[in-house]
Amino acid sequence: MPIKFTIIQKCPDTRARLGTLQTAHGTVKTPAFMPVGTQGTVKAITVDELGEMGIGLILSNCYHLFLRPGIEVIARHGGLHRFMNWDGAILTDSGGFQIFSLGGLRKIDDQGVTFTSHIDGSTHFLTPERVTRLQNMLGSDIAMVLDQCPPYPAGQNEVREAVKRSGKWARRCKQAHLREDQALFAIVQGGVYENLRRESAAELAEIGFDGFAIGGLSVGEPKELMYAALNYTVPQLPPEKVHYLMGVGSPDALLEGVRLGIDIFDCVLPTRIARNGRVMTAQGYLPIRNSIYSTDLSPLDEACSCPVCNSYSRAYIRHLLNAGEILGLRLTTYHNLYYLDRLMQEIRKAVSENRFEQYYREVSPSLKKMYGGVV
């Protein structure tokens, strides 16, 4: 068995649940947020620092690693874990979203996707079978099927075609999947259309996978539509399997996702905004580059106990960022990842103590006020 997912406790008033995801590279407590290491690294953070925070699962991207440095290079190192010197668990995304976001640089048909590299203009053709075997070579703990992610907004006919193609590709991915020590997750599509979400989930559940992701959300739709889609999609997924919401990382959306039955999340949000000088705090986003903080000797967040907040002032970090010093990016990134990891710890504790509904009522209004504008 490549992974073992165990549900320890369920919240009686919501779909929130506490669990463990056991992999060959450690056990992850769920619900959990998964930092994104697209190109074999979580930007500005070392694997040792991720371990210090207690993070046990990260995401990398097959599409980007295929283009650079090449899957063969990584395979010669013995796989992605050894290549990046990470002994925790890895989930590899197939790159479907990245490929389809190329727009005019790609052409799709039932066989696969032809696309032009955004790096050097070279042309490539990827099929569901090839993407699956590339992830086999990477040796990640969890591989994702190749799917077609429609844009938002999109008409029902366009989304229906994407659902049909994604279902066919999922079957082909499962047939091509060769590693018994690697889990394979399906991706439910369907946009904001309940009937199509139900059809997609039913087909993928019938095929059978080790876990089920919900894709095609956090692509520009209002959060209310995303939550509505989760509300009618999650009950269609096999309850004993992992439920993974792709591309969501704002604190309010993480809390809402857990309430609706999500076990793992990923998003570039915390690391991306950190590089732009925006940090997450108990009072909301802090634009640390602003001149008002030039003489501020307080930490980024008075309520935070991370090494950054224990050791550095707002004035110093602002100085680093505005001077173009790499350390500034590292400090803001570390803090943001720490903040989200501690939020997930609080959520897990609330579920374990049978008080999640109370915790949700207390925390959700402020999180929505502070972070509701960004998924």
10-residue mean pLDDT series, the chain (375 residues): 96 96 98 98 98 97 97 98 98 91 88 94 96 98 97 97 98 98 98 98 98 97 97 98 98 98 98 98 98 98 98 98 98 98 98 97 97 73
Tell me the CATH number for domain 4-267.
Answer: 3.20.20.105
Question: In the chain, which residues fall in CATH 3.20.20.105?
Answer: 4-267
- The pLDDT, as a whole number, for residue 374 is 53
- Pairing verdict, β 89-93 and 57-61: parallel
- The pLDDT, as a whole number, for residue 373 is 76
Is there a contact between 321 and 289 (Cβ–Cβ < 8 Å)?
Answer: yes
Kindly give the residue spans of alpha helices, DSSP state H, lying in 85-127. 96-100
- The pLDDT, as a whole number, for residue 101 is 85
- Name the one residue in this structure whose structure tokens are 């407590």: 29
- Name the one residue in this structure whose structure tokens are 């790499």: 326
Is 266 designated active site? yes
Is there a contact between 188 and 233 (Cβ–Cβ < 8 Å)?
Answer: yes
- Report cis status (omega within 30 of 0) of the bond before 299: no
Kindly give the residue spans of alpha helices, DSSP state H, lying in 85-155. 96-100, 128-138
196 class by beta-carbon count within 10 Å (0-12 exposed, 13-18 middle, 19+ buried):
buried
- The pLDDT, as a whole number, for residue 1 is 84
Integer Cα distance of 97 and 3 in angstroms:
25
- The pLDDT, as a whole number, for residue 239 is 98
Is 93 designated active site? yes
Dihedral over alpha carbons 25, 267, 222, 300 (to 10 degrees): 120
Q: Which two tokens stand for residue 331?
A: 């400090």
Candidate list 147, 263, 266, 301, residue with the active-site label: 266
Cα–Cα distance list, 241 to 168, 183, 300 (Å)? 21, 12, 38
- The pLDDT, as a whole number, for residue 375 is 46
Cα–Cα distance list, 125 to 84, 144, 176 (Å)? 26, 18, 17
- The pLDDT, as a whole number, for residue 169 is 98
pTM, two decimal places: 0.97
Candidate list 93, 147, 263, 301, residue with the active-site label: 93
Strands (E), the chain: 4-10, 17-23, 26-30, 32-35, 57-61, 89-93, 106-108, 113-116, 123-126, 142-144, 183-188, 211-214, 242-245, 264-267, 278-281, 284-287
- The pLDDT, as a whole number, for residue 105 is 86
